Amino acid sequence: MSNVEATLMGRRLLILGPPGAGKGTQATVLCRAIGIPHISTGEMLRDHVARETALGRRAREIMESGDLVPDEIVIGMVEERIGQPDAACGFLLDGFPRTRAQAEALDEVLGDEGLDAVIVVEVAEDELVERILKRGRSDDTEEAVRNRLTVYHSQTAPLIEFYLGRGLVRSVDGVGAIEEVLARIVGVLGA
Ligand code: AMP
């Protein structure tokens, strides 16, 4: 894990995987190690909900049900965030894009340079539900969890094919200790 920062600085990364795969945890540690911003639409939305902004009031019920908030909301948030100066030195997107329309909007925002790699975190379905229910977040009711998995399979998982076609996908086994999974990610990124 030496020189992770030097090797991965400046990369534009995306972490993709089903809810409960540990994307948020891995994204947090990886971004700390590399020194790039962690751009999580889920975190941004939860912040709006907590501050009771107009956007937060619109998103709250949708999030509690496990559905996706409208594309234009998250696209606008990400566009604004990627435009900030710290993102010029690379970033890691977590939880965005989740739909084909979001992926196409991201292409437009990034232009010719595009993403450098898409980390796909793989965890078996049984393990996911167990992990999410242990996490105990307010949108983690059993019904919402089941819905989030359905939405993931129908809307987000097809993006793996989309990025496979571009040769960007780096898959890792998401089962194991945080450090183990992190080492696998760093390994597939070539650092
Ligand atoms: P997460 O923290 O990534 O699991 O996101 C929590 C919730 O926020 C999701 O279940 C969605 O309701 C909403 N959300 C987060 N990111 C997106 C996105 N890219 N598109 C639509 N909804 C999102």
Ligand 1 atom with the smallest distance to the CA of 78 is 19
Please tell me the total count of domains within the chain: 1
Distance, CA of 148 to CA of 20 (rounded, Å): 10
Told to judge if 137 belongs to the known catalytic residues of this protein, a careful annotator would answer yes
Residue 97, C-beta contacts closer than 8 angstroms, at least 6 positions apart? 14, 103, 105, 106, 156, 159
- Count of CB atoms situated within 10 Å of the CB of 119: 25
Domain hosting residue 88, numbered range? 6-180
Q: State the CATH number of the domain containing residue 66.
A: 3.40.50.300
Ligand 1 atom with the smallest distance to the CA of 40 is 3
Quote the pLDDT of residue 4: 87
* Cβ-contact 66, 145 below 8 angstroms: yes
Q: Which of 49, 60, 67, 68 to mutate to test the pocket of ligand 1 (most atoms within 8 A of CB)?
A: 68
Told to judge if 23 belongs to the known catalytic residues of this protein, a careful annotator would answer yes
Position 1 in a domain: no
**Structure confidence by residue, pLDDT tens digits, 1-30:** 557 888 888 999 999 999 999 999 999 999
Neighbouring C-alpha atoms within 13 Å toward the C-beta of 32: 7
**Structure confidence by residue, pLDDT tens digits, 95-107:** 999 999 999 999 9
Position 188 in a domain: no
Q: How far is the CA of 14 from the centre of ligand 1 (A)?
A: 15
Position 191 in a domain: no
Find tokens 């650092």 and name the residue: 191
